[in-house]
Structures are given as structure tokens and as C-alpha cells.
Amino acid sequence: MPKPPDFGPLPGQFAIRNFLTNTLISARDGGHHSIDALVTDATAIGENERFFFERTPPGWTVMKTAKNYYVSASHGGGVGGNQDDTQTFQTERTALADDAVFAVTGPNISNGTTLIATFNHHFVTALGGGGKSTRAFHTDAVKASTWEQFYVLKCGDLGDGYKYAIRPAGSGNIPGKGEHVSFLTALGGGNRVAQAMTANNTFKPESRFTFERQPDGTYALRTSNGIDVVTADGGGGLAHGSPQADNLQTNRTVIQGWERFKIQEHGSGLYTIQTTSGFFVAVKNDFTNISTRISFPDEAPSIGYTAVFELMMIAPQG
């Protein structure tokens, strides 16, 4: 099994979505600002909402904007409402410093959100849960609540050997409609033909999959037991499983055709999962069924399915 390096740049980019409002964190103008450098009123992932992440010893995360400026927290954190909270974050630095490192932990058990803490061990708070174009953040929280929760979503290259959680797009906290957090989960951690995979689970240890890139550019998805890989029964093309066998099974250890999936970005921060037969994996809107018989991902909503997914990289300690 491939093992990614402990430190260095992570593949691709990342978007950070606010848990409560589903708005996104943006680096204003792609960086190079000291006033309201980060805001939270974007509703779609564009260039300014994509950040480069890098791991540095002993376990910090560094964030850079699209224009390659470091995100730094004023005073290394600890900024609240009694100070000038237009300058809680800056995107001016071109060299690494202590105020530009963060502890990023998650996804966390249950809702799959991530916590972000500053160098001096304060949590990052999105004021109002997001949706602000000025004075968007504080960094003085010592206890994490809902304003301190974020979904860190993958964009672009997935790398090789990294662990991800897979969530049907549109699940999670929906403003005004409550919360239904749903992740693909290998029940029992793998080694099952029936009752092998579900899309109707909160984030659990069994919701972690290692993405192993194959020579042809496809991916095998290894389950949390570190042994088994996900198999599309028949290579895909099945609308429903049966009591005896699921569409997606987890009892194989050798990667052959049915264990290979083409995973491609389908709109910024969204991915499709295509089986070897050319059909796509999709989840029914009520999370009761996983289909491997979707021909066109954009048409899946017309029959009550979602065929695009958000991917969340698992932190090393997650």
C-alpha cells in the first residue's frame, strides 16, 4: 500500500466550507491583503476559494492562497471583538512564520467537520457561521462549537495513498432544513458481500478509504481494515443490490478490473466515481440505495439520485 510523505505539499487544492451556512472561505482577490483578507460570503468554489495545503513538522498545516501568499493569523491567534477584527487574518506573507501555521484536525466523528486552531492554540471562528464580507473571523475561542466547524473539501489532484471520506454532494447541514450527514461507509471495515456498503451513516472510522492510484490512472479504494478493496459487482451497471450481495462489495484483496474506479473532478470540488463498465456510482436522495447504473451524472437528480461527491482528506491523526 502506498504511503504518502509525512510532510510537504499536499496534492491539489482545498476549499473550506462553513458548517452552519454552507458558504465558503475566500481569500479576497486571491491574496495580498491585510484588511478583510479572508471573508465567508462566497457560495461557489472559484479560484479565490481554493487553497494550497502543506504539512510541516511536527504536524502543522500551512495554507496558501491561489496567488501563493501564506494565510497568517494576527498575533498567532487570540483576536476577538475587542480588537480590530478586520485584521484577524492576513494574506501578505511570502515566507513561512509561526503565525502562518495551523492545527487542522478532522474530519471528526459524527458530522465529519474539521477544526482549525492557530499557533497559540485558539480555534478559528467564522462569525455568524459564515456569510460575512467584513469582520468575518475571530481567533480567540478556547472551546469549539458550531461556528468553529468547517468542511474541508478536496479540489483537483487526489494524489496516491491518501485517505478520504466520501460524501454525496448536498448532504450535511442544509440551512433551514436541518442536518442529515451522510458518508459512504464500509460496514465492519470491509470483508463483506452483503450489507457491505452504506450511504446512510454519520462519519465513522469505517468511513475512511485509502485512494490507491493505479498505473492506468484509476483508483482502488481500500477500506479501513487496510486489507480489502471496494468492488463494483459485475463491474457496475446494477441499479440495486440484493439481500445476498450489494452493488459495492468489500471482500476482495486483489485489485483487478472490478476494483478500479475512475475518479474525476466534475465541477470545482465535486467528483464522479465511474466503474469499469462506464457507469457511475450514485446515491438515492433518501440515502437508502447505492446504484452503479447511472449513465450521465448530471441527469441523476431527475431520477432522485446524486452522482457527484465531495471528498474530505483525512488528517494524519484522523
Query: Is residue 182 over pLDDT 80?
Result: yes
Instruction: List the grid coordinates of 149.
Output: 466547524
pLDDT at site 142: 97
| Single-letter amino acid, residue 85 | D
Same domain, 97 and 232: no
pLDDT at site 110: 80
Same domain, 306 and 169: yes
Query: Is residue 136 over pLDDT 70?
Result: yes
pLDDT at site 181: 75
pLDDT at site 177: 45
Same domain, 143 and 271: no
Same domain, 39 and 58: yes
What percentage of the chain has pLDDT greater than the value 90?
Answer: 86
Region at 166 (left for phi over 0; alpha for psi -120 to 50; beta for the rest): beta
Same domain, 97 and 212: no
What's the CATH code of the domain at 74?
2.80.10.50
Neighbour tally for 122: CB within 10 Å: 22
Instruction: List the grid coordinates of 260.
Output: 478500479
Same domain, 168 and 305: yes
pLDDT at site 304: 95
State the pLDDT confidence band at 236, using cuts at 50, 70 and 90: very high
Beta strands at 219-222 and 209-213: parallel, antiparallel or unpaired:
antiparallel
Instruction: List the grid coordinates of 58.
Output: 511536527
Same domain, 109 and 211: no
Strands (E), 19-69: 24-27, 38-42, 52-56, 60-64
Same domain, 187 and 131: no
pLDDT at site 134: 96
Average pLDDT, the chain: 94
Residue range of the domain that includes 294: 160-313
Q: How far apart are CA 263 and CA 269, in angstroms?
A: 12
pTM for the full predicted model: 0.94
Query: Is residue 170 over pLDDT 50?
Result: yes
The residue among 132, 154, 176 that closes a domain is 154
Range with the lowest mean pLDDT among 100-114, 155-169, 224-238?
100-114
pLDDT at site 178: 47
pLDDT at site 81: 80
Query: Is residue 82 over pLDDT 90?
Result: no
Q: How far apart are CA 294 and CA 289, in angstroms?
A: 13
The residue among 119, 135, 154 that closes a domain is 154
Domain annotation covers residue 1: no
Same domain, 135 and 204: no
Same domain, 219 and 243: yes
pLDDT at site 155: 97
Same domain, 137 and 184: no
Sign of the alpha-carbon dihedral angle for 2, 229, 270, 18: negative
Beta strands at 150-155 and 183-186: parallel, antiparallel or unpaired:
unpaired
pLDDT digits (tens, 9 = 90+) for 263-306: 999 988 999 999 999 999 999 999 999 999 999 999 999 999 99
Residue written as grid cell 484588511: 35
pLDDT digits (tens, 9 = 90+) for 55-65: 999 999 999 99
The residue among 119, 154, 189 that closes a domain is 154
